[in-house]
Structure 1
Amino acid sequence: MASIKQFQVTFDCAEPERVARFWCEVLGYVAPPPEGFATWDDSDRALPPEHQGPAFASCADPSGAGPRLFFQRVPESKAAKNRLHLDVRVGTGLVGEERLAALEAECARLVALGAVRVRLLLADDDNESCLVMQDIEGNEFCLD
């Protein structure tokens, strides 16, 4: 049986291009156009008129280490809490006030991009502090 070598994370969303740009900024990813096209607009113009308009977008880790993110337009809006979420690791190795300061600094940067701060979960006996947030379409993620 072959092992899985790569995976992508797919987001259902209303505005794929906008959500992809947000996550590129959050993670330092890039959004290369589809193969064979110089830009996403060139790719879009190659479609029949009735299918034009960004139905999907993607972004990738420029180092190749992280998973590809894919964003696809869907007609329905988000209705419930995510069953899966991303943890954006900004406080790795930090504890106490130093960790909180790193989380708060990144939170401020992301709020300026359109993210929403939901709540701070303070450290307990089992876990370090983290910040629960939402992206620009309400998908939950954590600053960890």
Structure 2
Amino acid sequence: MTAIEFQVTFDAHDPGRQALFWAEALGYRLQPPPGDFTSWDDALDAWGVPPEARNSRSAIVPEEGESGPRVFFQQVPEEKSVKNRVHLDLRVAPGLSGDDRAAAHEEAAERLVAAGATVVRRVPPSQEMGDGSFIVMADPEGNEFCLD
């Protein structure tokens, strides 16, 4: 079977802010405007999108030459009400263990807190998980993700 292209979609109150946060978190960039448009404002002007509707969606894509799914943010009116059933694990410490793993987690957590995330809890290594420590975080709108 041929692999299916997919994107990850987040419901959001502020798609622009969420896009900026997740671009920082994932090492992505805002999706550039299409075609010959030099900015999104030019594109939205040409399409007749009123200013009050311009933050209804946003998207981020991998940096040029990198691969990964497009991440799309769509504005919704309702609040997040329960724990996510699906979440992203950001692999910030692949191949590391012990103090090096913990340091990579803390460095990433500091960077993401500065970008608007919050630390929910730190999960230390355990006998059941071996060296599998991780940090549970929430993005600016409360969506949980892990630093793994």
3-state SS, counterpart of residue 28 of structure 2:
coil
The verdict on how the C-alpha distance between 1:31 and 1:48 changes in structure 2, with shifts beyond 3 A counting, is closer
Which residue number in structure 1 is paired with residue 40 of structure 2? 40
Q: Which runs of 5+ in 2 are unaligned?
A: none
User: What code does the residue aligned with 1:23 have?
Assistant: W
Unaligned stretches of 5+ in structure 1? Answer: none
Instruction: Report the CA distance between 1:50 and its aligned residue.
Output: 8.0
Alpha-carbon separation, structure 1, partners of 2:49 and 2:118: 37
The answer to whether the 8 A contact 1:28-1:61 is kept is yes
Which of these residues, 67, 70, 76, is aligned with residue 68 of structure 1? 70
Partner of 1:58: helix, strand, or coil? strand
Identity of counterpart residues, as a percentage?
A: 48
How many Å separate the matches in 1 of 2:51 and 2:114?
35
User: So what's the TM-score if we normalise by structure 1?
Assistant: 0.90
Is 1:126–2:125 an aligned residue pair?
no
Paired letter, 2:11: D
Structure 2 counterpart of 1:59, which letter? I
SS of residue in 2 equivalent to 1:60: strand
Change (3 A) 1:100 1:70: same
Aligned to 2:2: 3
Deviation of the 1:21 alpha carbon: 0.6
What CA RMSD, in Å, does the superposition of the two structures yield over aligned residues? 1.7
Q: Check the 8 A contact 1:29/1:59 in 2, yes or no.
A: yes
Match of 1:78 among 80, 93, 111: 80
Structure 1 residue runs of 4 or more that deviate by more than 6 Å after TM superposition: none
Matched length: 143
**2:41 is matched by which residue type in structure 1?**
D
1:139 to 126, 143, 148: 143
C-alpha change, 1:21 and 1:50, in structure 2 (3 Å) is closer
